[in-house]
Chain A
């Protein structure tokens, strides 16, 4: 019996035993969020759905490796989806949707609730929102755009109108600061 109280962990364990109903339930619970993750990176619904499909086939095939990953099920699945989406947008022949990217950047700049506020609104941010707030705006923006929308260094450089080296420095310093801050607060 599928129980609403089954945790994602339980579902994963049953998937490892080749329980297809548990897998259907896992899909039902997580596909909405994972599709959104893919969609933000590839920016096209049909591509995002293909990535979701490939990812779930992959999840089913590798669910026995999950226990080794030692992360939360959603984190593990998100990483699979993000990796596929990133591979997809880094394909040499990928047609880039530049106007979309421009719009994206503008949105980031204009948005009154910035990523940090959105994080807080999402209510699951732990310390990440506080720590993102400690970064400079440029560091925060570069990291968020790269993580959420899959922008590469050069795409960030093009779209933020800064030299490549500057972008790389922002990201590196931002990441180091972020890690320092999260560790100081006892998070991951």
Chain B
């Protein structure tokens, strides 16, 4: 199907609107849409043609949190936060990531029945997402674990660690508090990190976690120095 042929063009627009154009083709088509009013018109026509199908579902009443979330995000911003913390995507409220957190968490716990320390009614979870809100790593622990508390980490994404670098996990205590290192982690699918003594109580109240790329032996300054690959807010479930 040639893009120059009007019949083919209309079909491409139709498949784009229908959603059957996927992957690279969809991405390419979207690029083209941005620069060319021709296909934009075709797309608009197909949207109009098929739109009546959208009205056939029974309307649903969204829960209040949806509007509250929208309001919070369209309201004029408060004073910008400081550099590093301010740059973390989750401070802006990554709601898709947090919904996914719940979704993943239940799947995740269901998949690990032997891990009795993590029960669905009492777990802290941080789903760490990359800059596109795509979940890349989950961290879970139990708040009542006073013995030798440890974090269970699952790496979901398959990002590779560059040679000569390390991944350092950070706890973000919350408002105006500097991140605290939880140590270095690996790229293994499942791993555990012991919580340093005295940090457990803060961790249970932490705003979230972040992971940054650091020199081989970790951050030389005690604060993150490299780019933040993943971050997420803490959920208690």
> Within 8 Å of chain B (Cβ to Cβ): is A32?
yes
Partner of A176, one of B11, B49, B67: B11
Contact between chains at B95 and A179 (CB < 8 Å): no
Cα-based distance from A33 to B73 in the complex (angstroms): 22
Q: Select the stretch in A4-12, A48-56, A99-107 that faces chain B.
A: A48-56
B-facing residues in A105-128 (Cβ within 8 Å):
115, 118-119, 121-122, 124-126, 128
B-facing residues in A139-172 (Cβ within 8 Å):
143-144, 146-148, 150-153, 156, 171-172
Contact between chains at A93 and B135 (CB < 8 Å): yes
In this complex, what residue of B is CB-closest to A188? B48
Partner of B45, one of A72, A74, A151, A188: A188
Contact between chains at A129 and B67 (CB < 8 Å): no
B contact residues, range: 35 or more
Contact between chains at A31 and B56 (CB < 8 Å): no
Q: Interface size (A, Cβ < 8 Å)?
A: 72
Contact between chains at A171 and B59 (CB < 8 Å): no
A-B pairs with CB below 8 Å: how many?
156
| B-to-A contact residues, CB < 8 Å | 7, 10-11, 14-15, 17-20, 22-23, 44-45, 47-63, 65-67, 69-70, 73-75, 95-96, 99-100, 102-103, 107, 134-135, 156
| A-to-B contact residues, CB < 8 Å | 20, 23-24, 27, 31-33, 35-37, 39-41, 44, 46-54, 56-57, 60-61, 69-72, 74-76, 78-79, 82, 86, 88, 90-91, 93, 95, 115, 118-119, 121-122, 124-126, 128-129, 143-144, 146-148, 150-153, 156, 171-172, 175-176, 178-179, 182, 187-188
Which 5 A-B pairs rank lowest in CB-CB distance, beginning with the nearest?
A32-B59, A36-B57, A188-B48, A175-B14, A125-B52
